[in-house]
Structure 1
Amino acid sequence: MMASTGDALSHEVLHNGSLSPEEQKQFMEALEELEQWKRKTDKADQEKSRLLLEKLDSEETKRKAQKETLDLMELHKKRMEASQQMKKGLEDKILDLEKHNRALEDRLKECEKILENKKAEYASLQKKSKINVDVPEKKVVFTGVEKEESRENCQNTECMFTITQRPSFPLKGGQALITFEEEEVAGKILKQAKCPVKVENKRMDVKPSRVSLEPSVKFEVHLNVSKRKIGFSNAPPVLPEERMRDRLEASFSKPSQGGGEVEEVVYNKDTGTGQIVFLNTGVAENLVLKKKYNVDASREVVISICPYFEYQLKKFQTFCGVSKRTVLLSGIEDVQEEEDQQDLLEIHFQKPSNHGGEVENIKYLSRGRNAEAFFTEDAREPETYSE
């Protein structure tokens, strides 16, 4: 509409000839500029429409983004709540486990204390039953070569020991054991209800009593050590049982390691122990001296070796002894040092005027101490061991 109006106006002006050529030129330039601005206005209107459409699209995108953001925030909130609940549950479990661990630690301490008491009790019992035996020397003379025995008779080494436990007596503080050379002297002392002993111008009444020894035992140990068989341990089942048995047989058959021809293999996979029986004697005796042996399984295994033996206890006897030459003195007060007090008691009971006699041995313990006195078979020379 505007373009057609401008064209009509320009045509009318030019037709009337009211303008000079210069004015006509300016008029035409103005018309051309007007047309340019019209085009720019149309283009601006189009751009405005486009921007309005883009704005509408941006607002829709913004609303969607806001909705997604809100949804994500809600999801994050729910996950945080779930995480807090899980954290609280784990903390409760940790507290329960710590409480359980403390209870187990307390129980472990109690068990360790019980174990220590049992060990002490075991050590005390072992000390009472421990036996030291001196095997007497025996002179031998070579008389000649005997005919070789049959294989059954020469594949084992047999021996027998007689074990006798030494009688003992628990000696407490404030007591003394005194052994006289003569039974008659001990008998005279035992007939007295109390023995007055002078110590630094003071009188101390000592009570004598008979010594009843604790029960002792005597038995024979018959030992049979195999010359062809050894025992082994620490052999874990790194292979199936049958293959493990084969590897043991192959390893113990190697002369380079001190082995020999194997007759039988016994293997317990649960305990990792067993026995090897060799065809000939001598192999087992040499291997036992090594104590360790390498077995080639899926990996190298070092096992422990020990001699294989059987034993029997025979002629087991128990007996209780009473010392006829030893007297127990009780109720002794610590007036002097232990050694001085012991010398004083020995001098007192050596005097015939005090119904005493020659003293063979004496042992006195001051109060607060304990010891175990051991007697020989004829009740001579008791030995004391302080705990």
Structure 2
Amino acid sequence: MDHGDEEQTLSEAKEELEQWKMKLEKAEDEKSRLQLAKLSAEDEKKAAQKDMLVLQQQGEQRMEEFTETLKGIKGEILRLKKGNEDLMKKLVESQALLQAKRAESLQLQQRFKIHAQIPEKKLKFTNKIEKEDSDNGDEHIKGVFTITQRPTVILKGGQALITFEEETVAAHILKMAKCTVSCDKDKVDVKPKFLTLDPSVKFEVHLDVSTKAVNFSNIPPSMQEERMKDRLEISFSKPSRGGGELERVDYDMDTGRGQITFLNTGVAESVALKGKFCVDVDREVNVNVSLVYSYKLKKFQTFCGIPRRSIILNDIEDVQDEEDLQDHLEIHFQKPSNYGGEVECIKYISRGKKIKAFFSEDTAEMEA
């Protein structure tokens, strides 16, 4: 091999060496890059593992919270269900109580209904009341009536009602479980008991009666409304029939009713007292007439109590007739030796009968 070939070979070797050096450097760079990538991947892995651990812990915490929440919701559902059942039970009880109260209210309404015919009273005017300043002061008559229901009790057969003059006597008798009353050859055991009166009421009726107006009814619908008003005005204006000059005519064609207002006072009263009034429509018709009035109930009061001087005797056997046995009872309970005293009133009812006793503040009377 000549010198030129050696130099060429050496040159090629150097070039190849340089190439390998470059490849080595690239390999080292790639190795460094891969090592850095590995370190970065490991850091990311650690971070991911850490995040995963945090997420796992959060998931477990969320699961615990969900479990607790679900448990609380189930408990709340059970509580609400029980509360609903309790409310339904209370609703049923309240409905039953409401029905009972309604029945009691209806019973009390029936008990406190007062049907009474108020008798006519002769009035004596003792003084004059100054008239209030009013444009229509003479158009109305006002009255106030106080209605008082007397307390009552039902006296049944085999019972006696005794009213003593002294409260202490009744109190002593009521302390005894029974009293033995001698009736000639017989003896009767009676049981004294407290007397409870039925509830009573007291109220005022404020009455306002018009002195110029009357109501009428029973008008046949035989003509137009305006024409009927004219006929009514003509009829009620005739003095020969007890009428007078009119101020106003009100008429309802659908009901056949209406109201006549006279110009002067006194005419309405004389017309209403007749009860009937002859009206010329297409023929003569007698219509019903009545005074115009209004009323209000005020100061309504209910009260009940126990009379301190009166007692009830129960379980009385009919060993004698009614009057004789009543006399023996009165004699027995008048004797101080029997803890009795002066008897103001006594009433005995034999078996199979009953009466109602009415009470006032100081006396008691019986009514069959």
Q: State the TM-score, normalizing by the size of structure 1.
A: 0.62
- Would you say how many aligned residue pairs link Structure 1 and Structure 2? 260
Structure 2 stretches lacking a partner, 5+ long:
1-106
Q: Does 1:253 align with 2:237?
A: yes
Q: Does 1:357 align with 2:357?
A: no
Residue matched to 1:329: 313
Q: Aligned pair in 2 of structure 1 residues 292, 370: CA closer, same or farther (>3 Å)?
A: same
Which residue identity does 1:339 align to in structure 2?
A: E
Q: Secondary structure at the match of 1:322?
A: coil
Q: Aligned pair in 2 of structure 1 residues 210, 136: CA closer, same or farther (>3 Å)?
A: farther
Residue matched to 2:144: 160
Which residue identity does 1:252 align to in structure 2?
A: F
Q: Does 1:319 align with 2:303?
A: yes
Q: Secondary structure at the match of 1:207?
A: strand
Q: Aligned pair in 2 of structure 1 residues 384, 148: CA closer, same or farther (>3 Å)?
A: closer
Residue matched to 1:272: 256
Which residue identity does 1:254 align to in structure 2?
A: K
Q: Aligned pair in 2 of structure 1 residues 141, 129: CA closer, same or farther (>3 Å)?
A: closer
Deviation at 1:286, TM superposition (A): 1.8
Q: State the TM-score, normalizing by the size of structure 2.
A: 0.65
Which residue identity does 1:373 align to in structure 2?
A: A
Q: Does 1:140 align with 2:126?
A: yes
Which residue identity does 1:319 align to in structure 2?
A: F
Q: Does 1:384 align with 2:366?
A: yes
Q: 2:156 aligns with which of 166, 172, 184?
A: 172
Task: Note the 1:67-86 alignment, pairs <5 A.
Answer: none
Alignment partners' CA distance in 2, 1:186 and 1:223: 43
Residue matched to 1:217: 201
Q: Secondary structure at the match of 2:311?
A: strand
Q: 1:240 aligns with which of 204, 216, 224?
A: 224
Q: 1:186 aligns with which of 147, 170, 173?
A: 170
Q: Secondary structure at the match of 1:332?
A: coil
Q: Does 1:292 align with 2:276?
A: yes
RMSD: 2.7
Residue matched to 2:181: 197
Alignment partners' CA distance in 2, 1:127 and 1:203: 43
8 Å Cα contact 1:133-1:163 kept in structure 2: no
Deviation at 1:126, TM superposition (A): 8.5
Aligned-residue sequence identity (percent) comes to 56
Q: Does 1:372 align with 2:348?
A: no
8 Å Cα contact 1:131-1:165 kept in structure 2: no
Alignment partners' CA distance in 1, 2:174 and 2:186: 23
8 Å Cα contact 1:131-1:166 kept in structure 2: no
Structure 1 stretches lacking a partner, 5+ long:
1-120
Which residue identity does 2:126 align to in structure 1?
A: V
Alignment partners' CA distance in 1, 2:140 and 2:345: 47
Alignment partners' CA distance in 2, 1:181 and 1:259: 60
Q: Aligned pair in 2 of structure 1 residues 315, 325: CA closer, same or farther (>3 Å)?
A: same
